Each structure stands twice: as structure tokens, then as C-alpha cells.
Amino acid sequence: MVRTVPGRTERVVVVGAGLAGLATALRLRGAGREVTVVERAAGPGGRAGRVEREGYALDTGPSVFTAPEIVADTLGAVGEKLEDRLTLVPLETTYRAQFGDGSALDVHADPAAFAAEVASLCGPAEADALRRYLADLAELYRLQLTTFIDRNLDSPLDLLGPELVALARRGGFRRLSRHVEGYFADDRLRRLFSFQALYAGVSPFRAIAAYAVIAQLDIGAGVWHPMGGIAAVPDALAAAATDAGVTFRYGADVAELETSGHRVSAVRLADGDRLPADAVVVTTDQPWQLVPGLRAPRRPVYSPSCVALHVGVRSDLPGQAHHTISFGQSWRGVFDELTPGGRLLGGGPGGRRGKIMSDPSLLVSMPSRTDRSLAPDGGQVLSIVAPTPNLDRHSGGNPDLDWTTVGPRYRDEVLTTLEARGWTGLTGAIEVEEMATPLDWAAQGMAAGTPFALAHTFGQTGPFRPSTLPRRGPENVVLAGSSVQPGVGVPMVLISGRLAAERITGPVPR
């Protein structure tokens, strides 16, 4: 039986209108609770934000949108249909992978087209390996979803069962890099199916093979583009929640949770307003800073961070794909630079500090290729995400990098790299830009200056990741978001919203 909040839970205050907070609010409202969402920003979205300037609409957070069925399920909690709120366009080309040797591979959503592309670039044996790998990936995901991901886990014992045995049999606990090498001989395919470990904050040379499933979410099941940009997703969820009767308070900074005995009795805002509550859901990055009695994780390991550069350019940039993974020559070196000496990630404690990648691998998204509403005629919007060390020495990060001076230099370096890799004329065509460095993430309250929260090391995954219902602190405080189970990324935080709501309502039959 899943543990739940005892006593009255009629009035719930949700702190944060990011995707986790919105999902929680929809689930709770669907179960009949009176819900108020309190958000310090001027609108919904949190990390999935948007900046509009001079006719360009820049998504400042996620760019790769996967698993739309989870958004549909979330809207379904209040009887809404996804197609009434959002237009999703499936991408025929999930990614273009660009390699350091000058070759490129289009990852097609259609498995037959993808296999044909692999056959022509890497040979028929690799295409056969691809077919086997994709089938195994789908099975690995199915095995893990219900048992390990889409479920509140209170104890490691919750995992014991035939699925754990099946996962071990499939090699889920060996190294991801080994797992992928077991299928593919071509180094380019090995990279293509292991770079996703970085989304989970771990090196593929350290991660367990169970994380291979992240590639099921993008390469296996496909990537969509929400028309209007990814920020259209939180907009849609917030609109559905409002129509269902959820109250939103924007521009409202939660200063304190007031307690009475073992419970929180009210949420106090910075302007002095007080919102009485029977239960509170906290979705902030560091909930332990807000929740009295809640402890931060002991010896946390944080994900690498990133520099995110979003630009609007007056150029068509012909020939570029919606999403490009631009690999450098270096591969193992990328991870050695990003996370050296971090606990569980690289060498031993007291080791070296993280460095900026000397031969960077970058994710470049150009959503205006698919969605012309995002840029003026003759223009494009691009998001460039460059992984960097975070600011926490114990996670292999580097607190000594002075991002106020390193940031602008690194921006220039990234743009020069992209020009050399085929984005000719990009730099000179920039009309608007927004950049965030680890310093900015830290200023927004994110631990270790990373927007990717606690890394998915084995010790911070499943039952070992902070629970949605902490055992310490007030009994009526529930957590959601990327710092708790099941983890980081749009699909995971939407699931965390469901898990958090069920800590209040009990399991909802689906």
C-alpha cells in the first residue's frame, strides 16, 4: 500500500506552476480537491519558459518533447482531450546526428527508413543490430515503466519481483556503454544510443544499462513539436486547470510554510498574504529550503549543468534539421571533462574539477523549421544546449569557473564551433539572444547551478531518490518535480505530479 497524507486534505496549495505543479493541480482537481497554485513568476511553465522579442518566440527550456501520451493522460484527469488544447506535430526526423568525421545520420521516426539510413552509412550488419536493439529497447521500457518509473516507491523492497529479475537478465545493471557496445560495432551508433545518459545527468561509462530506456522515449517512440513552442504545453495545462476550477496566484513568492503541530496549516507569501491549507505540494528545486524539518539529501550528486543559448536569426539557415546532435571527435573525453572526480561519476573524492568541453558535443534545435509562427519571415529560432560542469565540487563540478567572464567567451566559442560544423553565417545573423549559464541557474534557486537536479546515479534513482512523501517534516507536505521520484525531464516531472497527487488522494484507478 502506498503511504498517503493522513487527515483532512480538502484544500491543497501547490507551490510552483512548472510542469510538475500543473500536473499535480490537474490530478488533484480531477479528484475533487480545492486547489490553489502559487507561482512567483508572472505565468506558468517554470523551466519550460518562453521569451518573446522582435517577432521571435524563444523556448528557454526543453526543446525535445517526447511521450505526449503523458500530457494527454494528465489533461484526461479533468476530462479534457489533448487535441482540444494542443497541436502536436510528429517529427519525421527525430534527430540529425552530425559526427566529428564529417558524416551525418538522420534518425527517422519510421523504423524502416531509419534502418535503411543506417544500412547505407554503417552497413547491413549494423542495420540488423538496430532492428534488434529497438525491439529490445521497447521491451526494456515496458518492463521499467510500471515497476520502476510510474509508481511511488517507499522502499527498495518495493522493487523485488519478477521485473527486477527480468531487468537483471537483460543486462540492465551492467554499464550502459558496455550494453550498447554489445549491439553495435560502429562508434557512431554507440554514441547515438548512449548520449541520452547525459539527459539523466550521468556518463554512459558510469550509468547502468537500465538508462538505455531514455533512448526509447526519443529515438524509439519519436519526438513531437507542440505548435507555438514547448511553452504551449504548460500554457495548455494551466488553461485546462483554470477552466476546471483551479485558482492561480502568479507573482506570488512563497516565503514560509506555517506549521501547527505535525502539519503545515498555511502557506505565507512574501507580501504577507496567508493561504490556509490542509495539504501542501512543493515543486521547487530545493524543497528542503522551504519545508521545515525536511533534510537535503546526504552527499548529493548533481547532474552536469549547461549553457543554454537561444537566438533569433535573420537567416533561413537552409538544410538544417529541427534537432541536431552535433558530436565532436572526442567522446569519453567529453565526460571526463564534464564530471571528473565526482562521487560515483568519475574518479575518487577530492579529484579534479570539471572543465568546459574542449571538443564539444552540442544539441541544436531549430523549431522554426517546423513551426513558422516562432520567427518572422526569413528568420529562424535556435536553442543551443552545451553541457558544462555544475558548481558543486563534490559532483565533479567546478565552483571556480567565473561564468561572468567565461560565459560570453564560451558563447563565442560555441558559435564558432557551429559555424565550422555547417551553420555558416549563424553568428552574424543573430538579432535577439538569451543566454543562461550555471550562475543563472543558481540565481534562480537551482542546487549546484544545474537545471537538471540530482543526477540519476543508482543511489539517486527509484526508491533511493527523494520520495514524493518525505518521512521527515510535516506529515501533510508532498513533493513533486525533478528533485524527487521519478526524476528529471518533461515526462518524468508530469509523472511526479501524478505520484504526488496520489499521496493525497490515494491511488486513482486509470
Ligand X SMILES: Cc1cc2nc3c(=O)[nH]c(=O)nc-3n(C[C@H](O)[C@H](O)[C@H](O)COP(=O)(O)OP(=O)(O)OC[C@H]3O[C@@H](n4cnc5c(N)ncnc54)[C@H](O)[C@@H]3O)c2cc1C
The contact set with ligand X (CB under 6 A) reads 15-21, 38-41, 46-48, 61-64, 253-254, 283-285, 306, 308, 385, 445, 451, 481-482, 488-490, 493
In this structure, are residues 381 and 367 in contact, taking their beta carbons and an 8 Å threshold?
yes
Which one, 130 or 219, has the nearer CB to ligand X?
219
SS (H, E, C) 422-476: CCCCCHHHEEEEEEECHHHHHHCCCHHHCCCCECCCHHHCHHHCCCCCCCCCCCC
Which one, 68 or 171, has the nearer CB to ligand X?
68
Which one, 21 or 397, has the nearer CB to ligand X?
21
Q: d(Cα 155, Cα 39) in Å, to the nearest integer? A: 32
CB count within 10 Å of CB 260 equals 9
* Backbone dihedral region for residue 501 (phi beyond 0: left; psi -120 to 50: alpha; all else: beta): alpha
Three cell numbers, residue 10: 480538502
Decide the pairing of beta strands 93-98 and 104-108. antiparallel
Give residue for cell 567565473: 402
Q: What angle do CA 244, 250, 256 make, to 5 degrees?
A: 110
Closest separation in Å from C-beta 375 to ligand X: 19
Which one, 36 or 129, has the nearer CB to ligand X?
36
CB count within 10 Å of CB 505 equals 18
Residues with Cβ < 8 Å from 143, sequence gap 6 or more? 163, 166, 167, 170
What DSSP element (H or E) covers 226?
Answer: strand 224-226
What three-state secondary structure class fits 153? Answer: coil
Closest separation in Å from C-beta 161 to ligand X: 28
Closest separation in Å from C-beta 499 to ligand X: 12
Closest separation in Å from C-beta 86 to ligand X: 16
Radius of gyration of the chain (CA): 22
Closest separation in Å from C-beta 310 to ligand X: 9
Edge-first strand order for the sheet with 104-108 is 104-108, 93-98, 323-326, 362-365, 380-388, 305-313, 430-436
Q: Where are the beta strands (DSSP E) in 66-214?
A: 88-90, 93-98, 104-108
Which one, 59 or 126, has the nearer CB to ligand X?
59
What DSSP element (H or E) covers 496?
Answer: helix 490-505
Closest separation in Å from C-beta 160 to ligand X: 29
Q: d(Cα 178, Cα 158) in Å, to the nearest integer? A: 28
Residues with Cβ < 8 Å from 229, sequence gap 6 or more? 50, 57, 59, 367, 371, 374
Closest separation in Å from C-beta 58 to ligand X: 11
Closest separation in Å from C-beta 280 to ligand X: 11
What three-state secondary structure class fits 5? Answer: coil
Closest separation in Å from C-beta 49 to ligand X: 8
Closest separation in Å from C-beta 461 to ligand X: 15
In this structure, are residues 303 and 314 in contact, taking their beta carbons and an 8 Å threshold?
no
Closest separation in Å from C-beta 275 to ligand X: 11
| φ, ψ of residue 16 in degrees (nearest 5) | 110, 130
Q: d(Cα 356, Cα 306) in Å, to the nearest integer? A: 10
What three-state secondary structure class fits 272? Answer: coil
Which one, 118 or 325, has the nearer CB to ligand X?
325
Closest separation in Å from C-beta 116 to ligand X: 27
What are the beta bridge partners of residue 88? 226
Which one, 167 or 306, has the nearer CB to ligand X?
306
Closest separation in Å from C-beta 438 to ligand X: 11
